[in-house]
Structure 1
Amino acid sequence: MPVPRRLAESLYWQEQRLRGRGPVRERLAQLRSHQERTPAEIAELQFEKLRTTFLHAYRTVPYYRRVMDERGIRDLDSPEDLRKLPLLTRDVLIREQDQLVSDEADRKTLQTNYSSGSTGRRAEFKQDLDFRQWMRAHQLRTYEWCEGWQLGDPFVLLWGSEIYWSFKQLFDRAENLLTNRREFNTFHLSPELISAVLDQLVRYQPKLISTYSNAMHLIAKEAESRNIRIPGLRAVQGTSEPLPPALRATIGRVLDCEVYDKYGMRETNIIAHEQPGGGPMMIQAENVFVEFLDEQGEPCGDGQTGRMVVTTLNNRAMPLLRYETSDLAAPLPRAADATLPYPAMTSVAGRLQDLIVTPAGGHVDAYLFSYLFMRFPEVHWFQVLQRHPERLLVKVYAPGGLRKETARTLVERIHHHTGFAFAVEFETLDRMPESSTGKFRLCVSELGRPALEGSTHG
């Protein structure tokens, strides 16, 4: 039985203080107060943190000091000046590991974290206690943006990352029990696990679930097949993977709850989250500065999809300036009915590596394929793999089997919507594949990076 909410909240803050995380509460209060500021005030606060991070990097980080000296830049007069620095690519991050750590890093609290390696190369980076406290405060704030969830309300995290679980301690398990938080490892997404997790969710009755989008979609399909609901569930927060409209619609319809999108990565913590009540993604301006760049490296206009480049504002131990994420999204103008003062962006459409290339030179992202495949109830998960310009291998997890008529219709729709008669081969799976991070890429192209022009979106 859950602990009464107010008691669970009190126990949470006591436990945080005993574990040396007392400042999290103060930082969460700061983040809440920022929501009452104007967009101009948020922009000023963000630039102040950006400039402070820039000056700190020059003074204490050998790599940045060398690069800034080479380019003759010592300070920032405006956010645009940041573009005088080169991009920090995954290759540079791997090559310059030691030179990217600050001379003033609090080495007693440093932890080594790792990127997921979804681009083929796994990088490591350092994060100190100060970063982790800001990270926790931002996480709590985004939970609050999901249908009024409050600290102490029943909460479930469904997570599959081996890295995450390797950090778990006995204290964490005790904290979870006392604060109405439950965590389930979704590393092995077998039919048996999906069914067992659904049963536990029905018994526990969380108000909020934060999870990988594909994992929650599989759980929703299981719930639909058994005609059951999760009592008390008000919101699902999809994270770490793109949340295509088709998956989102299925989760919301079957579980009768609101669905929110969250975007972030281990290197940076949370970058953006959908505003309360639904709407555009709100960039976490206290945590990151985001650039959207076209193929020429120039800033994108509103609504123009480009590569996301991120500068962290809370990791003084190893600041990442102009870190190339390879993720694709577009900046948005401020809407007249915006409820928060933060800059807006679209949901992330995927990674450059996730774009299927057409022989004509265009590309197709996961949203289109999701729109096509998820219209068929028998398809619980899919992945499109491209190793040849004119051929596609489609891996399909369909517990009841993939009907020939469905396969034929899918091929016809792929041809129609992509404008090319790809040779399509289907590989049916009897269970979900394993992933060391818990994440699954819906589209994988091994043909290299395509241009962004002429894109097709579902």
Structure 2
Amino acid sequence: MRFSSAMPGVAWPAIPGPRGVMRLALLHQLSETQWWSAEQLRAYQLEQLNALLGHARAHSAYMARVLSALPSTLSEDDWLSLPVLRRDAVQTFKDQIRCSVVPAAHGKRHAVFSSGSTGKPVATEQTDLSQLFWEVLTLREHLWHRRDFSGKLASLRHYPADVALPASGGQGPNWGSATADLVQTGPVAMLSVSASMQEQLAWLRRENPDYLLTHPTVLGELLDAIEAGHSLGDARLREVRTISESLTEGLRTRCQAILGVPLTDIYSARETGYLALQCPDHPHYHVQAEGVRVEVLDDHDRPCAPGEIGRVVVTPLHNFAFPLLRYDIGDYAEVGAPCACGRGLPVLTRILGRQRNMLTFPDGRKTWPILNFRSLNGIVPVRQLRMTQLTPEHIQVELVTPVRPDAALQDRLAELIRHNLGHAFVLSFLYPDHIARSAGGKFEDFVSLVH
């Protein structure tokens, strides 16, 4: 890893700029804290949580009410008596949860919109400090998996509508904000998942990356295409990284067998940041305890033991703009035993969260469906959404909303959905009170019955 210098005339040893120095200072601490015991990590977490709670009491009307019956400084037992924050409450009381004041040193506020793993979109806020932790944990993930920073990264994922469009995609000089102005890296090539499979394959052959970042659903379709006889050519690929969805069973094995490279998965959420990163020595995940407290709770809100599956409840430790205290993120996870690697960071064996099928066009093409909850929410308040493709031409839309759309609003929704999906599908609308998970605990916001 070669650092970039912000000091004129100094190439080596590099002297980074102020934000780079902050990242390095945090990264140095994380190199030590990962080896702390679970008890020591929890003690330091509780100290930071009490600092966050003090701010929330003073500046969040909703949290002030929730915390009013608890002591000013919480113990671990007090923490467990704090009620779980449901996603419905964030939707309904977001203006009251939002803090009226943020410490100036935490930087600017940034709006965040997430559909999450339940099809229930929420709008929250973060600060520049939240972004700093995102960048540092990205660096930790690169270092854990011993990546060659001089290599080329290919990012095949969802992008805003006007970014990295097929077939050429986009280019960047660096792997992203985590490394920009701090670590010298190879370039990044970007392509929107709106690209057809033929466009994706041609792009990968042309770019010939060392590392590929994509969604599990997209990777599965790529592997199917390669098994069907499509080639990536003389690929130099070293690793595939997956984001945004839970892994389907067997995807790691297929990736290694077909591409000859390992799959490294990342567990994160837009509104909370990194939750867990794959251990560098094992396929399970380490909770990023320096940035977030993750609890896995049973149906009675009691902590699960190793081997048990429960609801994932999250508290970001450094979000002073929108305190999400014991936030039920909508995922399920299995608790793991302490890791043989020696790190004291808590272990999740597997995550059961959002999955998404591929959209099939009438001509047989397949693509990752872009649902764009934010744009739909501009027409009616979207409390939950699921689309089911019944035939190559027909999609059923289930929409939970407190406002039952009239014919004109439904026509606007249909027009926008067709625009997002890229085809004039026949749409039928249902308005249930709630959309349940599958019997296996998974939620699929886009389901395809087309095979």
TM-score normalized by structure 1? 0.70
1:156 alignment counterpart: 154
Query: Alpha carbons of 1:198 and 1:218: their partners in 2 closer, same or farther (altered >3 Å)?
Result: farther
CA distance in 2 between partners of 1:442 and 1:254 (Å): 31
Query: Alpha carbons of 1:276 and 1:325: their partners in 2 closer, same or farther (altered >3 Å)?
Result: same
CA distance in 1 between partners of 2:5 and 2:120 (Å): 41
Contact 2:57 2:63 in 1 (8 A): yes
- Structure 1 residue corresponding to 2:93, chosen from 96, 103, 120: 96
CA distance in 2 between partners of 1:330 and 1:323 (Å): 18
CA distance in 1 between partners of 2:112 and 2:45 (Å): 25
Residue type at the aligned position of 2:217 = N
Residue type at the aligned position of 1:184 = M
1:312 alignment counterpart: 316
Query: Alpha carbons of 1:396 and 1:433: their partners in 2 closer, same or farther (altered >3 Å)?
Result: closer
1:230-269 alignment, distance < 5 Å: 231-269=235-273
Query: Alpha carbons of 1:165 and 1:67: their partners in 2 closer, same or farther (altered >3 Å)?
Result: farther
Deviation at 1:85, TM superposition (A): 2.2
1:403 alignment counterpart: none
Query: Alpha carbons of 1:227 and 1:305: their partners in 2 closer, same or farther (altered >3 Å)?
Result: same
Residue type at the aligned position of 1:74 = S
Contact 2:35 2:345 in 1 (8 A): no
State the SS of the aligned residue for 1:126. Answer: strand
Query: Alpha carbons of 1:165 and 1:226: their partners in 2 closer, same or farther (altered >3 Å)?
Result: closer
- Structure 1 residue corresponding to 2:346, chosen from 340, 343, 347: 343
Q: Quick check: 258-267 or 221-230, which moved more?
A: 221-230
Question: Which deviations, in whole Å up to 9, do the C-alpha atoms of 1:400-452 show, x marking residues without a partner?
Answer: xxxxxxxxxxxxxxxxxxxxxxxxxxx995322522469x9999998744698
Question: Which deviations, in whole Å up to 9, do the C-alpha atoms of 1:42-64 show, x marking residues without a partner?
Answer: 23322322232223322332221
State the SS of the aligned residue for 2:274. Answer: strand
Contact 1:332 1:345 in 2 (8 A): yes
CA distance in 2 between partners of 1:230 and 1:106 (Å): 52
- Structure 1 residue corresponding to 2:224, chosen from 221, 234, 256: 221
CA distance in 2 between partners of 1:163 and 1:304 (Å): 40
Residue type at the aligned position of 2:4 = S
- Structure 2 residue corresponding to 1:84, chosen from 81, 84, 88: 81
Deviation at 1:174, TM superposition (A): 4.6
2:4 alignment counterpart: 10
Query: Alpha carbons of 1:285 and 1:306: their partners in 2 closer, same or farther (altered >3 Å)?
Result: same
Structure 1, unmatched stretches of 5+, are 167-171, 355-381, 384-394, 400-426
Deviation at 1:267, TM superposition (A): 0.8
Deviation at 1:131, TM superposition (A): 0.9
CA distance in 2 between partners of 1:299 and 1:348 (Å): 16
1:196-207 alignment, distance < 5 Å: 196-202=202-208, 205-206=209-210
Deviation at 1:27, TM superposition (A): 1.7
Query: Alpha carbons of 1:251 and 1:21: their partners in 2 closer, same or farther (altered >3 Å)?
Result: same
Contact 2:292 2:317 in 1 (8 A): yes
CA distance in 2 between partners of 1:254 and 1:84 (Å): 49
Query: Alpha carbons of 1:251 and 1:197: their partners in 2 closer, same or farther (altered >3 Å)?
Result: farther
Structure 2, unmatched stretches of 5+, are 165-170, 177-183, 374-384, 390-397, 399-431, 443-451
Contact 2:281 2:341 in 1 (8 A): no
Q: Quick check: 230-239 or 60-69, which moved more?
A: 230-239
Is 1:195 aligned with 2:182?
Answer: no
Query: Alpha carbons of 1:302 and 1:247: their partners in 2 closer, same or farther (altered >3 Å)?
Result: same
CA distance in 1 between partners of 2:80 and 2:144 (Å): 32
Contact 1:88 1:323 in 2 (8 A): yes
State the SS of the aligned residue for 1:330. Answer: strand
State the SS of the aligned residue for 1:303. Answer: coil
- Structure 1 residue corresponding to 2:295, chosen from 278, 291, 308: 291
Query: Alpha carbons of 1:101 and 1:304: their partners in 2 closer, same or farther (altered >3 Å)?
Result: same
Query: Alpha carbons of 1:46 and 1:183: their partners in 2 closer, same or farther (altered >3 Å)?
Result: farther
Query: Alpha carbons of 1:346 and 1:285: their partners in 2 closer, same or farther (altered >3 Å)?
Result: same
Q: Quick check: 302-311 or 239-248, which moved more?
A: 239-248
Contact 2:256 2:263 in 1 (8 A): yes
Question: Which deviations, in whole Å up to 9, do the C-alpha atoms of 1:354-388 show, x marking residues without a partner?
Answer: 7xxxxxxxxxxxxxxxxxxxxxxxxxxx84xxxxx
CA distance in 2 between partners of 1:260 and 1:58 (Å): 39
CA distance in 1 between partners of 2:331 and 2:162 (Å): 22
Query: Alpha carbons of 1:112 and 1:396: their partners in 2 closer, same or farther (altered >3 Å)?
Result: closer
State the SS of the aligned residue for 1:162. Answer: coil
Query: Alpha carbons of 1:72 and 1:20: their partners in 2 closer, same or farther (altered >3 Å)?
Result: closer
Query: Alpha carbons of 1:122 and 1:43: their partners in 2 closer, same or farther (altered >3 Å)?
Result: same
Deviation at 1:313, TM superposition (A): 0.7
Residue type at the aligned position of 2:43 = E
Contact 2:205 2:233 in 1 (8 A): no
Question: Which deviations, in whole Å up to 9, do the C-alpha atoms of 1:307-336 show, x marking residues without a partner?
Answer: 11101112122221011111011212214x
Considering only aligned residues, what root-mean-square deviation do their CA atoms show, in Å?
Answer: 3.7
TM-score normalized by structure 2? 0.71
Contact 2:201 2:232 in 1 (8 A): no
State the SS of the aligned residue for 2:46. Answer: helix
1:8-407 alignment, distance < 5 Å: 9-10=3-4, 20=19, 22-69=21-68, 71-78=69-76, 80-106=77-103, 109-116=108-115, 119-146=118-145, 148-162=146-160, 173-176=172-175, 179-202=185-208, 205-206=209-210, 208-224=211-227, 225-228=229-232, 231-335=235-339, 337-350=340-353, 383=357
Question: Which deviations, in whole Å up to 9, do the C-alpha atoms of 1:208-239 show, x marking residues without a partner?
Answer: 32221122232333344234466443322211
Query: Alpha carbons of 1:442 and 1:232: their partners in 2 closer, same or farther (altered >3 Å)?
Result: farther
Count how many residue pairs are aligned between Structure 1 and Structure 2: 368
Q: Which has more helix, going by share of residues? A: 1
Question: Which deviations, in whole Å up to 9, do the C-alpha atoms of 1:18-72 show, x marking residues without a partner?
Answer: 6955422222222222234333332332232223222332233222112211x34
Residue type at the aligned position of 1:317 = A
CA distance in 2 between partners of 1:68 and 1:164 (Å): 44
CA distance in 2 between partners of 1:228 and 1:183 (Å): 16
Deviation at 1:180, TM superposition (A): 1.3
CA distance in 1 between partners of 2:72 and 2:234 (Å): 55
Deviation at 1:264, TM superposition (A): 0.8
State the SS of the aligned residue for 2:53. Answer: helix
Report percent identity of matched pairs: 24
CA distance in 2 between partners of 1:54 and 1:163 (Å): 38
